[in-house]
Amino acid sequence: MISLENAQISASFSTKGAELQGLENKHTSLSYLWNGDAQFWGKHSPVLFPIVGGLKEDTYNFEGQQYQLPRHGFARDREFEAHKIGDEELLFLLKEDEESLKVYPFKFQLGLHYRLSGNTLSCSYEVLNTGNKTLWFSVGGHPAFSLPLKSSLNYNDYYLKFNRDSQLNVHQVNNNLIDDKTEILHLTSAGKLPLNHELFYGDALVMKDLKSNKISLKCDKDSHGLDFHFEGFPYFGIWAAKDADFVCLEPWCGIADGIHHNQQLIDKEGIVSLAPGKEWSRNWEVTCF
CA 263 distance to own-chain centroid: 23
Confidence of residue 14 (pLDDT cuts 50, 70, 90): very high
Query: Which residues, 6+ apart, have CB-to-CB distance to 10 below 8 Å?
Result: 3, 4, 22, 23, 24, 26
Q: Helix or strand or coil: residue 289?
A: coil
Give the CA angle between residues 238, 214, 42 to the nearest 5°. Answer: 35
> From CA 278, how far away is CA 273, in angstroms rounded?
10
The percent of residues in the chain predicted with pLDDT above 90, rounded, is 100
Confidence of residue 139 (pLDDT cuts 50, 70, 90): very high
Query: 213-262 pLDDT, tens per residue?
Result: 999 999 999 999 999 999 999 999 999 999 999 999 999 999 999 999 99
- For residue 249, the model assigns a pLDDT of 98
Task: Spell out the alpha helix ranges (H) of the chain.
Answer: 98-103
What mean pLDDT is predicted for residues 147-167?
97
This prediction has a pTM of 0.97
Query: 31-68 pLDDT, tens per residue?
Result: 999 999 999 999 999 999 999 999 999 999 999 999 99
Q: Quote the longest CA-to-CA distance of the chain.
A: 58
- For residue 205, the model assigns a pLDDT of 98
- For residue 68, the model assigns a pLDDT of 98
- For residue 156, the model assigns a pLDDT of 97
Contact 48, 72 (CB under 8 A): yes
> What are the chain's domains?
2-288 (2.70.98.10)
Count Cα neighbours of 198 within 13 Å in the Cβ-side half-sphere: 2
The percent of residues in the chain predicted with pLDDT above 70, rounded, is 100
> From CA 167, how far away is CA 203, in angstroms rounded?
19
What mean pLDDT is predicted for residues 174-179?
94
Contact 164, 141 (CB under 8 A): no
- For residue 222, the model assigns a pLDDT of 96
Query: 67-120 pLDDT, tens per residue?
Result: 999 999 999 999 999 999 999 999 999 999 999 999 999 999 999 999 999 999
What mean pLDDT is predicted for residues 182-199?
96
Per-chain mean pLDDT for the chain: 97
What mean pLDDT is predicted for residues 158-175?
96
